[in-house]
């Protein structure tokens, strides 16, 4: 798909695919940035709550543990899966795939990682957790004094990286890059065999 090109449905005119060039390098940059942000996003305080002279800082990891300690293990597992585990796995898979493709390799396990990532993306929903945080801020603003923590800023940036990975990255181009790397390697192998045969003769 050329840059700026679109593939349209012949019946309804709906956009089926858009040309997004340089998806490999963009995926590498976004996934690397997201991986650097992941640790601070879950470990640093999201919010600082002050009430009656007491202050309490809450991080994403602490929020998940608090849900579990209060008996809401199902909710805790769901939050951990959608806001922590799936986004981390999505970033790691995209980093591994894009780095391998950028290095012009075509390992046999790459297609498997791309298929797994397609499923993982459906579970990675950090934006849902962010909406829940914003709702909590609105509900608690009259009861306590709330201050955003550094973890919240890191989490917002992490969410943007995840959203961009799922929107501007052309999965078809990643598959095409894999096929091109494999084809180029086959050509190089064939050329080396021909050179060796010519030397032997």
Residuewise pLDDT in 10s, the chain (201 residues): 554 555 656 666 655 555 566 788 888 999 999 999 999 999 998 888 776 667 778 888 888 888 888 888 998 898 899 889 999 999 999 999 888 888 887 778 888 888 888 889 888 888 888 887 777 777 777 777 777 888 889 999 999 998 888 887 777 777 777 787 767 655 554 555 555 555 555
Look at residue 192 and tell me if it is in a domain: no
Look at residue 87 and tell me if it is in a domain: yes
Instruction: Show Cβ contacts of residue 113 under 8 Å, excluding neighbours closer than 6 positions.
Output: 93, 96, 97
Q: How far apart are the first and last CA of the chain?
A: 44
Residue pair 123/86 in contact (Cβ under 8 Å)? The answer is yes
What is the span of the domain harbouring residue 141? 32-168
Look at residue 49 and tell me if it is in a domain: yes
Give the number of domains in the chain: 1
Q: What's the alpha-carbon Rg for the chain, to the nearest Å? A: 23
Going by C-alpha positions, the residue among 102, 66, 61 that lies closest to residue 83 is 61
Look at residue 13 and tell me if it is in a domain: no
- 96: tokens are 């591994």
Look at residue 186 and tell me if it is in a domain: no
Look at residue 188 and tell me if it is in a domain: no
Residue pair 16/9 in contact (Cβ under 8 Å)? The answer is yes
Q: What is the pTM of this model?
A: 0.76
CA-CA distance, 88 to 94, in Å (whole number)? 10
- 50: tokens are 């002050």
Look at residue 102 and tell me if it is in a domain: yes
Look at residue 15 and tell me if it is in a domain: no
């Amino acid at each position: 798909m050329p840059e700026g090109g679109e593939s349209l449905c012949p019946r309804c005119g709906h956009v089926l695919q858009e040309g997004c060039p340089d998806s490999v390098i963009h995926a590498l940059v976004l996934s690397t940035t997201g991986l650097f942000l992941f640790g601070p996003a879950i470990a640093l305080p999201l919010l600082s709550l002050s009430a009656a002279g007491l202050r309490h800082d809450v991080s994403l990891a602490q929020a998940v543990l608090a849900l579990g300690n209060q008996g809401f293990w199902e909710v805790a597992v769901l939050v951990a899966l959608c806001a922590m585990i799936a986004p981390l796995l999505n970033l790691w898979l995209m980093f591994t795939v894009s780095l391998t493709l950028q290095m012009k390799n075509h390992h046999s396990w790459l297609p498997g990682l791309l298929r797994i990532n397609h499923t993982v993306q459906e579970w990675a929903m950090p934006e849902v957790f962010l909406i829940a945080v914003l709702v909590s801020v609105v509900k608690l603003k009259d009861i306590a004094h709330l201050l955003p923590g550094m973890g919240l800023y890191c989490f917002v940036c992490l969410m943007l990286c995840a959203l961009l990975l799922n929107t501007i990255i052309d999965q078809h181009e990643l598959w095409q890059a894999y096929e091109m790397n494999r084809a180029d390697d086959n050509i190089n192998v064939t050329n080396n065999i021909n050179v060796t045969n010519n030397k032997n003769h």
